[in-house]
Amino acid sequence: MSGVEVLGLTAERCIELLDGRDVSCRELAEAYLDRIDRVDGDLHCFLRTRRESALAEADALDRDGRSGLQGVPVALKDILSTRGEETTAGSRILEGHRPLFDAGAVTRLREAGTVVIGKTNMDEFAMGSSTENSAYGVTHNPWDPARVPGGSSGGSSAAVAAGLAPIAYGTDTGGSIRQPAALCGVVGMKPTYGAVSRHGLIAFASSLDQIGPFALTVRDCALALAAVAGHDRCDSTSVPLPEPVRVPDAEDLRGVTIGVPEALLAQGVEPGVRESFDAALRLAEGMGATLREVELPHAGYGLPAYYIIAPAEASSNLARFDGVRYGLRVEEARDTVIDMYERTRAAGFGAEVKRRIMLGTYALSSGYYEAYYGTAQRVRTLIRRDFDNAFAGVDLIATPTSPTVAFEIGERANDPWAMYASDVLTVPVNLAGLPGISIPSGLAGGLPVGFQLIGPAFAENRILDAAHALERAIGFDPVPPRLGGSA
């Protein structure tokens, strides 16, 4: 076994160790892969690792010399296409699927010299808030294995919390990075819509999906975002950032005005979550921030609007899984092509995916289109305007990330709307296309609580600065006590 202890190790510290030649790229990758072998049998963060390829890439870096992010191990949610390597999106319908190309973000990570160690578990096609909807089994929360890690990027958030990767990437359509980051006690950021290429991200809801990082610290999160952000000619909705992502070094919050949408928080936020949130606000005030109540009168309508818009887009995007060009095919003798489509999709999709395809198809069907989809799109306009109005008076908006801490596995599995309610404080941000981060604000009942900071479009650096200053004041230890010390 190599000598480096990776539990609680930040990406910045990895880089220091590599720069100082205290550890080789191979030793570092091996340390993470060995730890995955030891502890991931119980947690199931990874769907598969790529030991041989990762070590070969690490060896090449050790041989040729390295700098920057080169040699830093990263994990990828299994919705990001990797050329020639299985990419399933957590679905049976893509079992064994080997994409012909790398996702734009994956290309950037390879160019940066990061070492991809494996692909992480997720709710099927990113539809879910608990990672229970994976066709390949549930992921357990490293803080309490009887509880969910959140979702849909629960494999990535749990991997970072459990010391199985210093950086992991996920995707966030309605909270799928921020909510699992909150439930696992790590940092997770959804950048502005368009900040990271969606090319090769298996699409769920194209007007909402964004790729973003998980890490143990805000500074690591900035490093990880900088590595993938920017325009990609293969995604015409991706844009160059107005300024490069900077690694933050702010020490206080002087001159920063933070808005708190009190009316939105009045419903459904658990007392323990609220206490942790309020304590973080007091710390922010103590560091020089000005707090101000803001109105987001339509944000409470975000959840129902989202659960029309996202399924509508999904029903269209998932029409491509038809058993013809790639993926699963189920066919019987004398089937017509329609029979084959229907059998393939019945066998290949899980219950939640079918539910959303049905919901979206219904909302887009003749006679209902305007009443459901048209209405939801107009509500989306009102939510955007609410944020525009609020940001005229404040620099950032703060909310708890999730109204609750991690819930028990199985607890919400038979009640779709209770599961959707996890997303009430995160979906308005996606509908408005804005950037948001979740940082741990403390514990409630021994489980992590997430604190969300939302900014105007392309205010990533403003968010990262404030989150970094606040993180230092909070002083949260992201290593789950039950994993503490050497596993």
CA nearest neighbour of 73 among 114, 44, 108, 133? 114
Compute the distance between CA of residue 330 and CA of residue 269 in angstroms, rounded to an integer: 45
Relative to beta strand 210-215, strand 290-293 is unpaired
Is 152 among the residues known to form the active site? Answer: yes
307 touching other proteins, by CB under 8 A: yes
Measured from the CB atom, is 80 or 457 closer to other proteins?
A: 457
Positive or negative CA dihedral for 306, 308, 312, 318?
positive
**Active-site position among 134, 153, 156, 176:** 176
Is 134 among the residues known to form the active site? Answer: no
322 touching other proteins, by CB under 8 A: yes
Residues 379-408 within binding reach of other proteins (CB under 8 A): 379-382, 384
Per CB under 8 A, the segment of 47-55, 212-220, 320-328, 389-397 that binds other proteins is 320-328
Q: Torsion over CA of 274, 278, 281 and 286, rounded to 10 degrees?
A: -160
How far apart are CB 405 and other proteins at their closest, in Å?
Answer: 23
Candidate residues 417, 445, 481, 484; the one interacting with other proteins per rule CB under 8 A: 417
How far apart are CB 193 and other proteins at their closest, in Å?
Answer: 5
The total of other beta-carbon atoms located within 10 Å of residue 99's CB is 19
Q: Torsion over CA of 14, 20, 21 and 27, rounded to 10 degrees?
A: -10
326 touching other proteins, by CB under 8 A: yes
How far apart are CB 206 and other proteins at their closest, in Å?
Answer: 9
User: What are residue 396's phi and psi, to 5 degrees?
Assistant: -140, 160
Compute the distance between CA of residue 251 and CA of residue 219 in angstroms, rounded to an integer: 13
Candidate residues 56, 146, 358, 487; the one interacting with other proteins per rule CB under 8 A: 358
Give CA separation, 425 vs 176, 251, 265, 280, in Å. Answer: 12, 27, 8, 17
Measured from the CB atom, is 218 or 363 closer to other proteins?
A: 363
**Tokens found for residue 66:** 């390295």
In the beta sheet, which residues pair with residue 92?
Answer: none
Is 67 among the residues known to form the active site? Answer: no
How far apart are CB 203 and other proteins at their closest, in Å?
Answer: 14
**Active-site position among 129, 134, 152, 157:** 152
**Tokens found for residue 414:** 């038979």
Binding site for other proteins (CB under 8 A): 97-98, 100, 193-194, 207, 233, 236-237, 239, 298, 301, 303-305, 307-308, 315, 319, 322-329, 331, 335-343, 345-346, 349, 351, 354-355, 357-359, 361-362, 365, 372, 374-382, 384, 416-417, 420, 431-434, 457
Mind telling me the catalytic residues? 77, 152, 176
